[in-house]
Structure 1
Amino acid sequence: MAMLPALMNDTMFSDLFDDPFFEGWRTAANNGSMTASPMNMMSTDVRETDKGYDVDIDMPGFNKDDINLELNNGYLTVSARKDENSGDKDTDGKWIRRERYVGTCSRSFYVGDQIKESDIHACYNNGTLCIELPKIEAKPQVESKHQIAIEG
C-alpha cells in the first residue's frame, strides 16, 4: 500500500483544529460541503439616495444565472443556488478537499406592497448584486369633511 504525502492525508492541518477559527471545519470537510448562514454569505449594505435605495449584496462565487430575485406580497427575496456539479470538474482523479460553498442561500427584505416588479432594477458585477429600489412616498391620510344633516 502506497503512503500518501502528509499534504494529501486526513491529518493535514490537524494541529490547527484546536484553534476556534477552524471550529466545524473537519465536520464540513467530511460532509463534502460547507454550510453557511445567509447572513454570512450575503452581507448587505443599504444606502438611501434622493430617488430611492441602493442595496448591495456580496455574493462572491455565484454566477448571474445562479441568482434569483422574487417580489411577493411586499417582500423582495434574493436567493442563490450553487450546485455541486457546477464549476471545475475533475475527471482524472478524486477531490481531496473541497472548501467552496455548495448549496442554497436566501434573504428577504420588506420593500412595501406599493412597489412593483418593474420598479426594481438589478445588476450583478464582480460578485456584488446591486439592486435599486424607488422611494415610495407615504400618502398622507386626508380627512375630508362631510356635512351631516340634522333630522327633525
Structure 2
Amino acid sequence: MSNLVSIPKNGSLAKTKANAIKGFPFVSSFFDDMFLEDFPSLFSSNFNAGVSLPKVNIKETEDSFHVEMAVPGMKKSDFQINLDENVLSVSTELEEENEVNETGFTRREFGYSSFRRTFTLPDTVDDNKILAEYNEGILSIKLPKKEEAKKKPARTIKIS
C-alpha cells in the first residue's frame, strides 16, 4: 500500500543516486548513521514543540483502503477532514486555557497543539463514498474502491 503515503523514517531526504557523490555513501545515509544513531528521538522527530503526529495504520482489502489513526482524548468535532483533488488531509487544532483565582495569586495556564496528516489517494478510490468515524480514541476512515478497481474473481473462458 505504498501508493497511499511515502514518508522517510527519520524525516530526512529520500536516499537517491542524485544525492550521492561518486565513491562516497549517500550524504543522507552518512549523516544519519554518524549523527542520528545515538540521538534518534531528539533529531529524527519534528522540531515543532507541542506537535505530535498520531500513529497511522493503513490496510488494503479487496474492496477498500482503511486508515486508522490513534488520537485519544479528543472529540469527533475536533477533527477536520478534507479532500482536495486526490489529497486527503486530517487535521486538528486544540487550544486550552485555564485560570485559577485564589486569595493572593492568580494562576493562568494555556496550551496549544495541532497536527495535520495528508495522504495522496490512488485513482482507484471512490471519493464520493469516503466514510469516517471516531470511536474510543481511534479515527477510522474507510476509502472504498471504485467498482472497476475491485479485484475480480478468477474465471474460466470457454474456447469456441
TM-score (norm 2): 0.52
Give ranges in structure 2 of 5+ residues lacking alignment.
Answer: 1-38, 43-48, 151-160
Which residue of the partner structure matches residue 94 of structure 1? Answer: 107
Q: Which moved more, 1:42-51 or 1:108-117?
A: 108-117
Q: Deviation per CA, 1:26-74: give whole Å up to 9, x if none.
A: xxxxxxxx522xxx43110011122101110011232211101000010
Larger relative contact order (CA 8 Å, sep ≥ 6): 1
Which residue of the partner structure matches residue 80 of structure 1? Answer: 92
2:50 is aligned with 1:35 = yes
Which residue of the partner structure matches residue 52 of structure 1? Answer: 64
| 1:113 positional shift | 5.1
CA contact (8 A) 2:126 2:145 kept: no
| 1:138 positional shift | 4.8
- State the structure with more CA Rg: 1
Give ranges in structure 1 of 5+ residues lacking alignment.
Answer: 1-19, 24-33, 140-152
Task: Output the amino acid matched with 2:100.
Answer: T
Among 102, 107, 110, the residue aligned to 2:117: 107
2:80 is aligned with 1:65 = no
2:134 is aligned with 1:121 = no
Task: Output the amino acid matched with 2:112.
Answer: V
CA contact (8 A) 1:71 1:77 kept: yes
- What is the aligned-residue RMSD (CA, Å)? 3.4
Which residue of the partner structure matches residue 155 of structure 2? Answer: none
TM-score (norm 1): 0.54
Q: Which has the larger share of strand? A: 2
